[in-house]
């Protein structure tokens, strides 16, 4: 019998291992719900919130392109967290897709004079891509200072950030999602 390979990076695996003891509890702790939801194959990140007594809202970020889980993943998570050995009798559990908050990064970067301007811009672009991947999770903010820091590599003289115009600060159930990156060489 062939098995599908589950790919997760070291950081995701470390989080699951650290959450494992939470899975032993059936007292309705948020960590227990997070652990059991993370055990579903396509789940990348989870947040469990209880804003109303007796009700637990679980938000899922998947490994799909933009992070929105498909219907099968939501059903699998709902089954996992509603199992008799997981959910306390008095909890009402709802499973939702993450609330993605779209943003764009657009900047102009002025290189120091010299022949390496294309390589400098490529490095800055790579840093922005890495930053947006790191920020694509629950509980993350996207501060302008982090974007400036990612762009301003050695060999750049000046950076003018056009978008976003303010720090992106989100609610616990929201996830920042970068829809485009534009980095232009300045004059």
Lowest mean pLDDT across 83-87, 116-120, 145-149: 83-87
Q: pTM to 2 decimals?
A: 0.79
Domain locations along the chain:
10-97, 100-185
Q: How confident is the model at residue 132 (pLDDT cuts 50, 70, 90)?
A: very high
Q: What is the pLDDT of residue 5?
A: 58
CATH topology for the 10-97 domain: GMP Synthetase; Chain A, domain 3 (3.30.300)
Q: What is the pLDDT of residues 88-112, one digit of tens each?
A: 777 889 999 999 999 999 999 998 8
| 1-60 tens-digit pLDDT | 555 556 667 777 777 677 666 555 554 677 888 988 998 989 999 999 998 888 999 999
The pLDDT mean for the chain works out to 88
Please, are residues 184 and 109 in contact by the beta-carbon 8 Å criterion?
yes
pLDDT at 146 over 60: yes
> Is the distance from CB of 57 to CB of 49 less than 8 angstroms?
yes
């Amino acid at each position: 019998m062939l098995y599908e390979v589950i790919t997760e990076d070291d950081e995701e695996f470390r989080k699951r291992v650290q959450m494992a003891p939470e899975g032993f509890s059936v007292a309705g702790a948020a960590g227990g719900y997070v652990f059991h939801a993370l055990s579903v194959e396509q789940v990348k990140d989870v947040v469990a919130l209880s804003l109303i007594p007796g009700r637990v809202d679980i938000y899922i970020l998947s490994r799909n392109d933009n992070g929105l889980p498909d219907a099968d993943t939501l059903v699998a998570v709902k089954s996992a967290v509603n199992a008799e050995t997981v959910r306390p009798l008095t909890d009402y559990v709802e499973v939702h897709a993450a609330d993605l908050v779209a943003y764009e990064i657009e900047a102009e970067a002025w290189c120091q004079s010299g022949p390496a301007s294309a390589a400098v811009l490529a490095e800055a672009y790579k840093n922005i891509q890495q930053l947006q991947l790191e920020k694509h999770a629950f509980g993350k903010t996207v501060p302008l200072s982090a974007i400036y820091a990612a762009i301003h590599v050695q060999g750049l003289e000046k950076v003018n950030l056009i978008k976003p115009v303010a720090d992106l600060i989100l609610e616990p159930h929201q996830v920042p999602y970068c829809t485009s990156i534009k980095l232009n060489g300045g004059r």
